[in-house]
Structure 1
């Protein structure tokens, strides 16, 4: 169910770990969402990079060959502004329904 919820996060929007857990019927299991995401295959089509922490901070520090944060790059490609590793949740957070 966690993966099904993540697959529904729209382009240009983000969701928090806790939000995903709640929408998946697993309230208070945000860490489980993180564990599931950590086990994804490298080339997955799932928009894992749209999941951030409750403070709007990027959770992954994975760098590409050029030394750039892959999560930040992907979010930026979708028009999501990342400032010092943080996303404005008021502006970009998915409401969970649309």
Structure 2
């Protein structure tokens, strides 16, 4: 990725995140992220990232904390995980957890 694209990504990300409630939990932010990238109504290509570490950075946490959220959701059967993939089993639960926050 060239420098201008990286800078553009960072600026968009910072602007987007500044609109998300800073007091929201990691679970709420991650659920909001999942709902945002799943929405066909939102131009969100710049939010799609390749790794758990990038998602953690995007929502302002560590990958370790995000893993704890994923483990809890797995136990609650909201998601299932295989290798580097997350399969959402209960979208309604994810939408409820997100508290209608979207990264737009």
Q: TM-score range by the shorter chain?
A: 0.3 to 0.5
Q: TM-score, normalised by structure 1?
A: 0.34
RCO (CA 8 Å, sep 6+): is it higher in 1 or 2? 2
TM-score by length of 2: 0.33
Larger radius of gyration: 2
